């Protein structure tokens, strides 16, 4: 069976890979959007925090024998705490300056982290073992889907859904949304906005670290794994706009699928197709597909 002269199995296989990449785009752009909403800061360290998540999981398993499941909880907490400290002691002092300075600060931190890990652990990739339960594959009839890949999609979507629930349906989320709209007024109502900001940044960093742990068994753990990914995620954010959580998730998954499709049809363009989509969106709908204004 073929479609456009392409074997269906190959097509579906690439689409599945694309969906997995898309799940990572969705998780990372979600974190960026949450941080941006309250802090008005684009977190350039997001890619580094993703890398940090994967590395901490690797080191915990190497030196302390902590397994995948514990790492999935522990690593986001650790990286999230480091994010809280970073916000409190580095970002807060320049919060009243032009927001471009915060962007540059996080960029500098990303450079430091990436270089530090390159020097300590080399620039080549390190393998992280796939957890026991997910070894093997399931036959879907048209393709063999490795179990771990299926888990990544489920877990990423579950976390996105949980984040949506927390932000839209809980009291803490209501504070967050109100703080995004008008922080001064919320402060006047007795909400501790500075603390909420610290928490939000930590939560965003924790999301990136969670994505990193998920990615560890899938891709090799290397110091540069986050940097190139982050630039693609930026393009995804520009395409989707940072208006809504659903928008971030849908755009992330869609871009993953488009990338997968391109790999089948015209592999040379696979690295550039998302940027090309960004160009088209900028021409047709400059505020992004789900954006609410510049």
Partner 1 sequence: MTTSTLYPDTLQASRQRRQLQLGLALLAIALVAPFVAYPIFLMKILCFALFACAFNLLLGYVGLLSFGHAAFLGTGGYITGFLLTRYSGLTPELGILGGTAAATLLGLLFGLLAIRRQGIYFAMITLALAQMTFFIYLQAPFTGGENGMHGVPRGKLLGLIDLKNDLAMYYFVLAICLSGYLLIRRTVNSPFGQVLYAIRENEPRAISLGYNVAAYKLLAFVISAGIAGLAGATKTVVFQFASLTDAHWHMSGEVILMTLLGGVGTLLGPVVGSSLVVWLHHVLGGSVLGSWMGTILGTIFVLCVLLFRDGLVGYVQKFVRRNLR
Q: How many residues bind partner 1 (CB under 8 A)?
A: 45
> Is 197:34 a contact under the CB 8 Å cutoff?
no
Q: Which long-range contacts (CB under 8 A, 24 or more apart) does 275-280 make?
A: 275/235, 277/235, 277/239, 278/235, 278/238, 278/239
> Is 240:252 a contact under the CB 8 Å cutoff?
yes
Of the residues 5, 124, 169, 294, which one makes contact with partner 1 according to CB under 8 A: 294
To which residue do tokens 């890398």 refer?
Answer: 51
Closest CA to 69 of 213, 250, 276: 213
For residue 112, the minimal CB distance to partner 1 (Å) is 4
Please count the other Cβ atoms lying within 10 Å of the Cβ belonging to residue 45: 29
For residue 114, the minimal CB distance to partner 1 (Å) is 6
Binding pattern for the stretch 17-56 against partner 1, x by CB under 8 A and - elsewhere:
-------------------x---x-x--------------
Q: Which of residues 216-235 bind partner 1 (CB under 8 A)?
A: 227-228, 231-232, 234-235
Q: Which two tokens stand for residue 291?
A: 């954006």
Report if residue 251 touches partner 1, rule: CB under 8 A.
Answer: no
What is the distance between the alpha carbons of residues 233 and 229, in angstroms, rounded to a whole number? 6
For residue 235, the minimal CB distance to partner 1 (Å) is 4
> Is 35:24 a contact under the CB 8 Å cutoff?
no
Binding pattern for the stretch 80-119 against partner 1, x by CB under 8 A and - elsewhere:
----------x--xx--xxxxx-xxx-xxxxxx-xxx-xx
For residue 291, the minimal CB distance to partner 1 (Å) is 9
Element (H, E) at 169: helix 147-169
Of the residues 215, 237, 245, 255, which one makes contact with partner 1 according to CB under 8 A: 237
For residue 178, the minimal CB distance to partner 1 (Å) is 22
For residue 193, the minimal CB distance to partner 1 (Å) is 21
> Is 258:79 a contact under the CB 8 Å cutoff?
no
Q: Could you list the residues that contact partner 1 (CB under 8 A)?
A: 36, 40, 42, 90, 93-94, 97-101, 103-105, 107-112, 114-116, 118-119, 227-228, 231-232, 234-235, 237-238, 268, 271-272, 275-276, 278-279, 282-283, 286-287, 294
């Amino acid at each position: 069976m073929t479609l456009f002269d392409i074997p269906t199995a190959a097509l579906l296989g690439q689409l599945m890979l694309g969906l997995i990449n898309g799940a990572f785009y969705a998780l990372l752009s979600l974190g960026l959007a949450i941080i941006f909403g309250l802090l008005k800061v684009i977190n350039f360290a997001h890619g580094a925090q993703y890398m940090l998540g994967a590395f901490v999981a690797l080191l915990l398993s190497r030196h302390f024998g902590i397994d995948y499941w514990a790492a999935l909880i522990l690593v986001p907490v650790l990286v999230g705490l480091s994010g809280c400290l970073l916000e409190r002691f580095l970002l807060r002092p320049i919060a009243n300056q032009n927001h471009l300075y915060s962007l540059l600060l996080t960029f500098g931190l990303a450079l430091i982290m990436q270089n530090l890990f390159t020097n300590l652990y080399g620039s080549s990739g390190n393998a992280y073992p796939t957890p026991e339960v997910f070894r093997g594959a399931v036959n879907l009839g048209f393709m063999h889907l490795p179990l771990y890949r299926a888990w990544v999609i489920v877990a990423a979507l579950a976390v996105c859904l949980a984040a949506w629930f927390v932000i839209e349906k809980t009291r803490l989320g209501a504070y967050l949304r109100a703080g995004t709209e008008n922080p001064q007024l919320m402060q006047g109502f007795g909400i501790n906005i500075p603390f909420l900001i610290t928490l939000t940044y930590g939560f965003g960093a924790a999301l990136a670290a969670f994505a990193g742990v998920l990615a560890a068994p899938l891709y090799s753990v290397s110091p540069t794994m986050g940097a190139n990914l982050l630039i693609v995620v930026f393009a995804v954010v520009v395409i989707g706009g940072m208006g809504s959580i659903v928008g971030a998730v849908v755009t992330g998954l869609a871009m993953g699928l488009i990338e997968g499709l391109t790999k089948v049809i015209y592999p040379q363009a696979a690295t550039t197709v998302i940027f090309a989509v960004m160009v088209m969106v900028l021409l047709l709908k400059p505020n992004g597909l789900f954006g609410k204004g510049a």
